[in-house]
Structure 1
Amino acid sequence: MTPQDSDTGLLAPGWAGSPAASATSDTAYLRALLDAEAALTRAQAALGLAPMAAATAVTSAAESGRFDPRDIAVRARSGGNPVIPLVADLTKAVGDEHGPYVHRGATSQDIMDTAMMLVAVRTLDLVLADLERGRRALARLAADHRDTVMPGRTLTQHAVPTTFGLKAAGWRSLVLDARDRVRAVRDGLPAQLGGAAGTLAAFTAYGSADPLALLAAYAHELGLAEPELPWHTLRTPIGDLAGGLAFTAGALGKIAADVLTLSRTEIAEIAEGT
């Protein structure tokens, strides 16, 4: 990939170079797709549905540096998703002996959704670390200014006095609420495995006496939650993820709006530290 092909963040400089930008990049998604494929073969091997040598071979071949995300994206146009060309490339990399165990029984949506959940979990870990740093900073701010008097306001007009420490404590409370919601979402994001129609029938055809055990093993390999049902047409996990992130953005936006207002020249109740 040439520098001209890379997303360097010129249109979003506040995002550029951040850990979350790297964790949600095309390269990160490719890594997650490969992790999903390798985990499927390992789960099948753990249940005796594939040779352990096949699991080792697929895991070894599933190194993201061996695959070109731009080339895969361009070739994905014909089939509408990147899993089709990726599986072809991964199967070739694994070799003739163990290639048939790549993607065995799965449908493209299984791998895409599972990879999306992996990307989300890995990114939410970074978000939670940021929220924890914010929580600690706001706790210190609240303690340091518990007696720093400032006007309370009603509809932007002066009301009874309050303290800046109480305002900072309120900001901290919002961050804690965001943290709890993000953590709950992260811990509940599920793997997806159902086959073409969500029935797990293909895995039965490949010898699985208990496809639900395979689903549990797959989720365990990935560190994702085990779903009660295949959810490739039931997008609740996406809604939960969006809701948690929306709340977090709103909570942090509230703090930012307060800081902007209180630091205005004509108000000047707070200022950037030196």
Structure 2
Amino acid sequence: MRGAIEATGDMALLQAMLDAEAALTRVRAALGLAPEEAAEAVAAVARADAFDLPGIAERARAGGNPVIPLVEDLRAAAGPHGDHMHKGATSQDILDTALMLIAHRALGAVLDDVERVVAGLTTLAAAHRDTPMAARTLTQQAVPTTFGLKAAGWRALAIDARDRLSAVRHALPAQLGGPAGTLERFGDRDIASAAPARFAAELGLVAPPLPWHVLRAPVADLAGALAFASGALGKLAADVLVLSRTEIGEVSEGVGGGSSSMPHKHNPVRATMIAAAARQVPALSAVLYASLAAEDERPPGAWHAEWQPLREALRLVAGAARDATELVAGLRVHPARMRANLAVAGTPGAAAVLVDRALEEK
């Protein structure tokens, strides 16, 4: 979780804004709108640890966003070349781009963890393709199934989460439109039309077809992928929490947590933390979806409402993915308890065949 906090924290946001400003100055220099020395000067001082973060946060209240005081401080730090920075952009361009950078950086680590979850579940499903256990519907035993089929289901959801997160990460766009999304501050039309793609390329982001100040599909798509990922991992956690109940005891966490008052307990802490994230991320995503209904060419409040829930959702999904890797790697399966708990007659049907088919998906 520390990595996720570092990737999405206030210092990370500050650095992402500085990266956006430095990239914009490089683009302006490449387009002949600023001297190369200006791009070098801005890049040399665009380091988050050289700025007063609490001071910027306090001064941000006056203008409603942190870009305004940051630009003042960055211009001062760049000396005589400071006048060449930020031109052509508006505050929302820099902040939107910074948030996309943060998401891109954080999702790299998340995807690595989800890939490890998929690999662990592949091993688990294959090892227990024929391990019989009770299937349960509406809380009651139904017919026999296999633990391998249950693990294959968890794996299928993890693959879906991986694919959705990967797709949205590779589609994250830069933002450059100027005060009203018309790029008028770049002057020449050919230069203005070339600037967004060059800006995106400098940052490793996608060039959008239009400025998206009030077209918040990128944020909504990211919100949906994060909510799905939290729920997909949450399904794994929910099943582990049920199956590890003392009365059932069919699985247990390899390294459980203790209790402050009951030393005999072996609590399923990893599954608990994943389940907690799965209950929070959809609510945070709802705030991000609500910002789709944004008025005019740049709205008051809609994009401002995204900053905190977006970063928190990224942190929660990152934490859930990390916890899921530990949960799957250390999960203890108890086949004898599964057989002892079977209170219904029958066979697992085609469960083993379904496991084999599911494992063909990469």
TM-score, scaled to structure 1: 0.90
Give the counterpart letter for 1:43 in structure 2.
Answer: V
- 2:178 paired with 1:158: no
| Matching residue of 1:48 | 32
Report the 3-state secondary structure (helix = DSSP H, G, I; strand = E; otherwise coil) of the residue aligned with 2:219.
helix
- 2:75 paired with 1:114: no
Q: CA deviation at 1:209?
A: 3.2
Are the counterparts in 2 of residues 22 and 28 from structure 1 also a CA contact under 8 Å?
Answer: yes
Q: CA deviation at 1:124?
A: 1.0
- C-alpha distance after superposition, 1:59-117 (max 9, x if no partner): 11101111021110001111111001100000000001x11111011100100100010
Written as runs of structure 1 = structure 2, the 5 A alignment for 1:97-108 is 98-108=81-91
Give the counterpart letter for 2:6 in structure 1.
Answer: S
- 2:219 paired with 1:238: yes
- 2:16 paired with 1:35: no
Distance 1:173 1:36 in 2: 37
| Matching residue of 1:132 | 115
Are the counterparts in 2 of residues 58 and 94 from structure 1 also a CA contact under 8 Å?
Answer: yes
- 2:68 paired with 1:87: no
- 2:171 paired with 1:199: no
Distance 2:166 2:204 in 1: 14
Q: CA deviation at 1:273?
A: 2.9
Q: CA deviation at 1:210?
A: 2.8
- 2:54 paired with 1:70: yes
Deviates more, 1:183-192 or 1:144-153: 144-153
Report the 3-state secondary structure (helix = DSSP H, G, I; strand = E; otherwise coil) of the residue aligned with 1:221.
helix
Distance 2:117 2:37 in 1: 46
Structure 1 runs (4+) greater than 3 angstroms displaced: none
Are the counterparts in 1 of residues 173 and 208 from structure 2 also a CA contact under 8 Å?
Answer: yes
| Structure 2: stretches of 5+ with no match in the other structure | 256-362
- C-alpha distance after superposition, 1:166-185 (max 9, x if no partner): 11111011000000000111
Q: 1:145 is matched with which residue: 125, 128, 145? A: 128
| Matching residue of 2:341 | none
Q: 2:164 is matched with which residue: 181, 190, 202? A: 181
Report the 3-state secondary structure (helix = DSSP H, G, I; strand = E; otherwise coil) of the residue aligned with 1:209.
helix
Higher relative contact order (CA 8 A, sep 6+): 2
Report the 3-state secondary structure (helix = DSSP H, G, I; strand = E; otherwise coil) of the residue aligned with 1:78.
helix
Are the counterparts in 1 of residues 31 and 191 from structure 2 also a CA contact under 8 Å?
Answer: no
Are the counterparts in 2 of residues 54 and 101 from structure 1 also a CA contact under 8 Å?
Answer: yes
Give the counterpart letter for 1:212 in structure 2.
Answer: S
Give the counterpart letter for 2:88 in structure 1.
Answer: G
Report the 3-state secondary structure (helix = DSSP H, G, I; strand = E; otherwise coil) of the residue aligned with 2:241.
helix
| Matching residue of 2:300 | none
Matched residue count: 255
| Structure 1: stretches of 5+ with no match in the other structure | 1-16
Identity score, percent? 63
Report the 3-state secondary structure (helix = DSSP H, G, I; strand = E; otherwise coil) of the residue aligned with 1:151.
strand
Are the counterparts in 2 of residues 128 and 179 from structure 1 also a CA contact under 8 Å?
Answer: yes
Q: CA deviation at 1:244?
A: 0.3
Q: CA deviation at 1:208?
A: 6.0
Distance 1:172 1:68 in 2: 45
Distance 1:245 1:70 in 2: 29
Written as runs of structure 1 = structure 2, the 5 A alignment for 1:162-173 is 162-173=145-156
Are the counterparts in 2 of residues 192 and 231 from structure 1 also a CA contact under 8 Å?
Answer: yes
- What is the RMSD of the two structures over their aligned residues, measured on CA atoms? 1.2
Distance 2:90 2:254 in 1: 54
Q: 1:273 is matched with which residue: 250, 254, 263? A: 254
Q: CA deviation at 1:254?
A: 0.8
| Matching residue of 2:203 | 222
Distance 2:105 2:253 in 1: 32
Are the counterparts in 2 of residues 49 and 208 from structure 1 also a CA contact under 8 Å?
Answer: no
Report the 3-state secondary structure (helix = DSSP H, G, I; strand = E; otherwise coil) of the residue aligned with 1:150.
strand
Give the counterpart letter for 1:249 in structure 2.
Answer: S
